[in-house]
């Protein structure tokens, strides 16, 4: 294992690991976490901190996550930082793994946590080279073999080309809550949260503002949602292609007809656009970081935001009555939409942060004000 303190190999058996990409690239390193071989979509995140939050973010379902920051694991693992009950990533790629964390809240090492959770990892590879490749060629499927077995490069290349695209699955159905859950039930204002893979800090942000939150499965129909007599509805973040979440899109389309205040976050923004009659498309390598600058249309305001998404809304496809609200200052892609007259809006970034800046937490306040 790679130590952070001395930057040397720990004495003891070293488990060989290999990451093979669909384009034929092969990266060899040291295995950690679970002993396993898995396939997924290889993506990168540029965050300096927040690896427990990223690993437990359901938006990463089906993905092999590469951290661009060179040192990971140095403050251990604290369950209080989790954004869901368990790791959601398929596999983990780091440059240097710290096996001796130092932090008052640490409960275990990253290696131990991933091993217990069945998630394989690879350390000691050139993550900068991998990131540059994904930025140029776009994200692609790959195979992470950290099972300690023989690693024939030719065989792994063949297997990597056969890894199916996880976005072809209904990933939302894999991460949504299996049952209805209610938080802060004594509150006077009720919000139904359509759970497409919600980060727990979204729920915390709403409860902190005095709302009762009814968390429902993504496939819940509009009639059942309206049966809770909500003052408003939030459509959460989640993984994969929003077009695969057909039942959620249909429910939101019906809710739009009903006139309730609606707030879409990340995938929820895309679902809102599809329900309104717009289109979405896949980005080359997505936005996964804590420092994405977003410009508010019609103003000179620029917000620094936390993001994790691989798809985006085609703003030109929005029907009459809808308009683009935010756009990315780096690549010009859409970062939010809103209805011109009604209290219905969505943002592509994460106002709840965790990890990341809290610049846009005011959007929760704006939504709560619309409930009145």
**Boundary of a domain, candidates 126, 147, 165:** 165
The total of structural domains in the chain comes to 2
For 228, list phi and psi in degrees, rounded to 5. Answer: -85, 0
CATH of the domain at 135: 3.50.30.20
229 and 323, same domain (yes or no):
yes
- Strand bridging mode 232-235 / 262-265: parallel
Widest CA span in the chain: 65
Domain shared by 364 and 259, yes or no? yes
Tell me the whole-structure pTM to 2 decimals. Answer: 0.94
The torsion angles phi and psi of 204, rounded to 5 degrees, stand at: -60, -40
141 shares its domain with 72:
yes
Specify whether the CB–CB gap between 286 and 310 falls below 8 A. Answer: yes
How far apart (Å, rounded) are the C-alpha atoms in residues 214 and 260? 15
- Do 100 and 182 sit in the same domain of this protein? no
Q: H-helix or E-strand containing 251?
A: helix 246-258
Helix, strand, coil abundance in the chain, percent, nearest 5:
25, 35, 40
Say yes or no: 314 and 178 in one domain: yes
Residue of 212, 207, 205, 170 whose CA lies nearest to 189: 212
The answer to whether residue 6 is domain-embedded is no
What pLDDT is stored for residue 150 in this prediction? 64
CB 348 within 8 A of CB 309: yes
Specify the pLDDT at position 8.
41
Minimal CA–CA distance to 90: which of 203, 218, 240?
240
Q: What is the CATH number of the domain that holds 234?
A: 3.40.50.880
Q: Tell whether 201 is covered by a domain.
A: yes
Instruction: Label residue 188 exposed, middle or buried (CB < 10 Å: 0-12, 13-18, 19+).
Output: exposed
pLDDT at 7 (0 to 100): 41
**Per-run averaged pLDDT (10 residues), the chain, 372 residues:** 43 80 95 96 95 97 97 96 97 96 96 98 97 96 86 86 96 98 97 98 97 98 97 98 98 96 98 98 95 96 96 98 98 98 97 90 96 82
Radius of gyration over alpha carbons of the chain, in Å?
21
Domain boundaries, position 191: 171-370
- Residues involved in catalysis: 266, 350, 352
Continuous H helices in 153-307: 153-161, 171-175, 200-208, 222-226, 246-258, 267-276
């Amino acid at each position: 294992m790679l130590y952070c303190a001395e930057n040397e190999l720990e004495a003891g058996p070293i488990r060989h690991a290999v990451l093979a990409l669909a384009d034929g690239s092969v990266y060899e390193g040291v295995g950690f976490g679970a002993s396993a071989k898995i396939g997924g979509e290889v993506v990168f995140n540029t965050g300096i901190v927040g690896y427990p939050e990223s690993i437990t973010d359901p938006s990463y379902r089906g993905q092999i996550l590469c951290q661009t920051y060179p040192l990971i694991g140095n403050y251990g693992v604290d369950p209080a930082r989790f954004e869901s009950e368990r790791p959601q990533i398929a596999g983990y790629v780091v440059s240097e793994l710290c096996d001796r964390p130092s932090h008052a809240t640490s409960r275990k090492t990253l290696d131990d946590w991933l091993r217990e959770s069945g998630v394989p990892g690879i350390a000691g590879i050139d993550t900068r080279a991998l990131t540059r490749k994904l930025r140029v060629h776009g994200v692609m499927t790959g195979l992470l073999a950290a099972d300690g077995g023989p690693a024939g490069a030719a065989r792994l290349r063949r297997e990597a080309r056969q890894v199916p695209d996880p976005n072809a699955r209904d990933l939302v159905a894999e991460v949504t809550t299996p049952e209805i859950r209610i938080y802060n039930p004594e509150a006077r204002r009720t919000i139904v949260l359509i759970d497409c893979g919600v980060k727990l800090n979204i729920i915390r942000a709403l409860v902190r503002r005095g709302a009762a939150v009814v968390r429902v499965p993504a496939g819940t129909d509009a009639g059942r949602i309206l049966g809770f007599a909500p003052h408003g509805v939030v459509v959460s973040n989640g993984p994969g292609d929003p077009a695969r979440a057909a039942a959620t899109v249909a429910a939101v389309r019906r809710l739009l007809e009903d006139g309730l205040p609606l707030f879409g976050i990340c995938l929820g923004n895309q679902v809102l656009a599809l329900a309104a009659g717009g289109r979405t498309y896949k980005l080359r390598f997505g936005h996964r970081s804590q420092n994405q600058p977003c410009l508010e249309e019609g103003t000179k305001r620029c917000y620094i935001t936390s993001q994790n998404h691989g798809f985006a809304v085609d703003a030109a496809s929005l029907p009459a009555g809808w308009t683009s609200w935010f756009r990315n200052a780096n690549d010009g892609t859409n970062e939010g939409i809103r209805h011109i007259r009604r209290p219905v809006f969505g943002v592509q970034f994460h106002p709840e942060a965790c990890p990341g800046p809290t610049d846009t937490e005011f959007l929760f306040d704006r939504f709560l004000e619309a409930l009145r």
